[in-house]
Structure 1
Amino acid sequence: MKIQAVKGTRDFYPPQMRLHNWILEGWKEVSLRNGFEEYDGPIFEHLKMYEQKSGEEIAEQLFSFEDRGGRGLAIRPEITPTLARMVNQRINALPKPIKWFSVPRVCRAERPQKGRLREFYQWNIDIIGVEDIVADAEVILCSVDYLRQTGLTEKDIVVKISSRKMLGKLLEACEIEQELHTGIYAALDKKAKIPEDAFEKLLEEKLPDQDKREKLLEIFATKQLSDLQENLQYSSEAAEAIDELIRLFSLLKSMGISEYCEFDIGIVRGLAYYTGTVFEIHDREGELRAICGGGRFDSLLKDFGGPSIPATGMGMGDCVLEILLREKGIISEEMPKPPVNYFIAVMDDELVETAAGLAAKLRLAGLSAEFSYKKAKMKKLMKQASETGAEKSIILGGEYIENKQIVLKNMETSEQRTVDYKQFCDELKYSEPNQENSEK
């Protein structure tokens, strides 16, 4: 029986793995550059943790099971609840602020579609212990820093920013009951994805009162923060939340990334734990799902039994990102292999063991090396060497058999010279690991 990969998962053959590693290594490099430390947690947690804290959408997408003791467990659909649990366990010992990042593999039991799979990788960065909006600005900066590093510009991507706190205060100012807020957020989250009449119908289901609904539609039509500030009547608490967003945009301008950022009142994020600033990064054409999203979740640690402590962060999945990078021509399957320092060409079958031993000596000296497993003609061997991307070739043939000498060939210039095998190996003993012996 021929077995296929499970729908919604991916096989990473070597060319795809090179692309995958390029993305993940970039995430790690930028995280470290921005002052974040790496962490990770278990691939499964107690089921109740996700059911209670991740919001209805995530809870419905869990791969869950019972262990042998009858305990309900679930494969992680995200890592933020794990972060909260881990921080709470050592809250008094951890220095503040906490700036952590992770690149977990996560799973969600949903219908696979473009940019959304059942199994994927997600880059998470979080700052815990900073109440000021400057932490939110730093999270956005780090996200944009990575995307800029890949080659994407402000013409390719846009950071859409809003505030759950501001929306909540505006709903209160419109005298909309607290119990209706979650449903309105869910409707607003779909606004950009469905036709206008479908959105109005959905909003009517969530908010039957026509007068209040018309007030909300007027608010939702706002394009600029200044318009919201000048033209609408709202409470002082709503005004404070708007002022906080204005300061965020000022910080982003000071950081030099304002051209990437814009206000969008329709950004609410689907997860239940967001309490303040929220943002998503999209392609400018709006043809793909969000590349990443995040915001402030000041109540999350408290919800997990810890202290009340401010927190903000973001998550970026690799699926939509890879699609966009391919469409922009930034990555392709032709990404080169890592260079090989030496390729050992065997021209006589009795020298295969010698080649294997020499390859081991080179590798133990911190150099990369490959060798041919059987003899071949020179033309074929040099083709193999070129295909590996080797910088130099070592030719084992008649010279070695007769005089214990090897031929060194520079693959770029085609220059070659004959050297004593023992002397070559003796010099390798003094090579530092992970440093290329460029004189050989």
Structure 2
Amino acid sequence: MSDAKNIQSVKGTRDFYPDDMRLRNWIADTWREVSLRNGFEEYDAPIFEYLDLFTIKSGDEIAAQLFSFTDRGGRSLAIRPEITPSLARMVNARINALPRPIKWFSVPRLCRAENPQRGRLREFFQWNVDVIGSDDVLADAECIYTAVDFLRQVGLTPDDVVVRIGSRPLVVHKLRQLGVAEAAMDQALVALDRRPKISAEAFAEQCAKAGLSDEQVGAICEFLDVPETDSLQQVAAVEGMDGDRNAILQLRTHLEAMGVWPYCRFDWHIVRGLAYYTGIVYEVFDAAGSLRAVAGGGRYDNLVEVLGGPKIGATGFGMGDVVLAILLKDKDKLPHTAGRLDYFVIDDRECPLSLVLQVVSEIRKRGGQADFSYKRQNTGKQLKEANRRGAAAAVIVRGAGKPIGIKNLANGNQTDQPLEDFLSLLDKTR
């Protein structure tokens, strides 16, 4: 019996075969295209950082999801579960040299020690878009606009997705009015964030752990459950938060001017579970509500300061590739990403292999995607291989000094011409 082990991939991770890789690249390329179009610059950071970077202000939820380890020097490190703390660290390191506002984006690979399920894996890619150095709600509006700009580009409409916008200060203010202690505030917010995702019994248990009484839970739920049509009137009735109220109203005005408000609505249930959020927060969901959040973000004005820098305005969002791909598949919006070659070079078996290799090389030097068969087989079999590889055309090489055939594999039309004329045409179209 063989001693070889059939080692599988780790649960919650993915192998990217060529078809999968083409989809992954299409998503990432579209993220980059939209980011650059909206004036953001790309950055990246190490895939592992000091453990403290993720535990200082992210809260218990992220801390519980860390893949952490101790290096040979005894230092506590963690594989990044998110990139926002790394972004804040990088900005803090060059705080006086970077022109503001800082508009950056990244497409990092992230890892979280979660229980894998539909829409949630332990390893995933996430589009992060952030504006740092501005307290203006216009920065929040631009981040939301950029997210919607992507959703529109991939063919999703307001009938498909919705951006639910909440206000963390509004909910915190209401909790304070209800007598919730400051020490219990973060835990209470985490419970409220999880409310739509867990059972009523589990929600009641989490509220009890946060120290909320039944009366407090009933009052805050009544406040959050107000219909959207009454949401702005509800904000107007809350005393002592004029600045946050104005930010909410201005945000809607900006999003209407940008033409993306049809994708948006206010929803005070949205508070976000991460402890570093300080202002407007939002999440993107499929309109039917059958999936996890496609994206989420908000304002985090204290994170740079927590890491030793100045207090500086910051806002941004993250969009993961896992739920996004499920949504695009459900809505039949995935692109056709089959492998494709410009040319597949074949021979008529009388042609020396050296000439085939020369033609392939000349096409590639001119920027064309070209390949050939390793097998010396008849023309018909080579044409079948060309079709299987998704080639647009076959280049039939017959021998030195003889014209080549260019066969369009979509319609079957074929023309003959000297090799030099074909290569000259490629030179002109480079």
Q: TM-score, normalised by structure 2?
A: 0.93
Q: Is the 8 A contact 1:173 1:234 kept in 2?
A: no
More displaced 10-residue stretch of structure 1: 141-150 or 220-229 = 220-229
Determine the structure 1 residue equivalent to 2:94.
90
Determine the structure 1 residue equivalent to 2:391.
390
Counterparts of 2:326 and 2:222, CA distance in 1: 35
Among 210, 215, 221, the residue aligned to 1:206: 210
Q: Is the 8 A contact 1:346 1:371 kept in 2?
A: no
Seen in structure 2, the aligned counterparts of structure 1 residues 396 and 222 have a Cα distance that, compared at 3 Å, is: same
- What SS is found at the alignment partner of 2:343? strand
Counterparts of 2:26 and 2:145, CA distance in 1: 20
Determine the structure 2 residue equivalent to 1:405.
403
Counterparts of 2:106 and 2:405, CA distance in 1: 47
Determine the structure 2 residue equivalent to 1:336.
338
More displaced 10-residue stretch of structure 1: 409-418 or 11-20 = 409-418
Among 406, 412, 423, the residue aligned to 1:414: 412
Counterparts of 2:217 and 2:19, CA distance in 1: 52
What RMSD in Å do the two structures reach over aligned CA positions? 2.2
Q: Where does 1:162-241 land on structure 2 (aligned, <5 Å)?
A: 162-196=166-200, 198-200=202-204, 202-224=206-228, 226-227=230-231, 229-230=233-234, 234-237=238-241, 239-241=242-244
Counterparts of 1:40 and 1:63, CA distance in 2: 19
Among 298, 321, 325, the residue aligned to 1:322: 325
Cα deviation, 1:375-395, whole Å, max 9, x if unaligned, reads 322322222222333333221
Seen in structure 2, the aligned counterparts of structure 1 residues 232 and 308 have a Cα distance that, compared at 3 Å, is: closer
Seen in structure 2, the aligned counterparts of structure 1 residues 354 and 206 have a Cα distance that, compared at 3 Å, is: same
Aligned residue type for 1:337? G
Determine the structure 2 residue equivalent to 1:37.
41
Among 312, 316, 319, the residue aligned to 2:315: 312
After TM superposition, give the deviation of residue 180 of structure 1 in Å: 2.1
More displaced 10-residue stretch of structure 1: 198-207 or 183-192 = 198-207
Cα deviation, 1:4-39, whole Å, max 9, x if unaligned, reads 111100001111111111111111111111111100
- Structure 2 unmatched ranges of 5 or more: none
Determine the structure 2 residue equivalent to 1:278.
281
Determine the structure 1 residue equivalent to 2:267.
264
Q: Is the 8 A contact 1:169 1:235 kept in 2?
A: no
- Asked if 1:126 corresponds to 2:126, the answer is no
Seen in structure 2, the aligned counterparts of structure 1 residues 418 and 234 have a Cα distance that, compared at 3 Å, is: closer
Seen in structure 2, the aligned counterparts of structure 1 residues 39 and 225 have a Cα distance that, compared at 3 Å, is: farther
After TM superposition, give the deviation of residue 233 of structure 1 in Å: 5.4
Counterparts of 2:207 and 2:415, CA distance in 1: 78
- What SS is found at the alignment partner of 2:291? coil
More displaced 10-residue stretch of structure 1: 16-25 or 227-236 = 227-236
After TM superposition, give the deviation of residue 176 of structure 1 in Å: 2.7
Q: Is the 8 A contact 1:225 1:242 kept in 2?
A: no
After TM superposition, give the deviation of residue 125 of structure 1 in Å: 0.2
Counterparts of 1:167 and 1:200, CA distance in 2: 18
- Asked if 1:21 corresponds to 2:25, the answer is yes
Q: Where does 1:80-159 land on structure 2 (aligned, <5 Å)?
A: 80-159=84-163
More displaced 10-residue stretch of structure 1: 47-56 or 119-128 = 47-56
Seen in structure 2, the aligned counterparts of structure 1 residues 6 and 211 have a Cα distance that, compared at 3 Å, is: closer
Among 407, 413, 431, the residue aligned to 2:427: 431
Counterparts of 1:371 and 1:246, CA distance in 2: 62
Determine the structure 2 residue equivalent to 1:248.
251
Cα deviation, 1:245-273, whole Å, max 9, x if unaligned, reads 12212211111111111111111111110
- What SS is found at the alignment partner of 2:119? coil
Q: Is the 8 A contact 1:173 1:235 kept in 2?
A: no
Q: Is the 8 A contact 2:236 2:245 kept in 1?
A: no
Counterparts of 2:337 and 2:420, CA distance in 1: 37
Aligned residue type for 2:158? E
Seen in structure 2, the aligned counterparts of structure 1 residues 25 and 46 have a Cα distance that, compared at 3 Å, is: same
After TM superposition, give the deviation of residue 141 of structure 1 in Å: 0.7
Count of paired positions = 426
- What SS is found at the alignment partner of 2:21? helix
Q: Identity over the aligned pairs, expressed in percent?
A: 47
Counterparts of 1:208 and 1:236, CA distance in 2: 23
Aligned residue type for 1:41? A
Seen in structure 2, the aligned counterparts of structure 1 residues 205 and 59 have a Cα distance that, compared at 3 Å, is: closer
After TM superposition, give the deviation of residue 49 of structure 1 in Å: 0.9
After TM superposition, give the deviation of residue 341 of structure 1 in Å: 2.3
Aligned residue type for 2:385? Q
Q: Is the 8 A contact 1:154 1:259 kept in 2?
A: yes
Determine the structure 2 residue equivalent to 1:373.
374
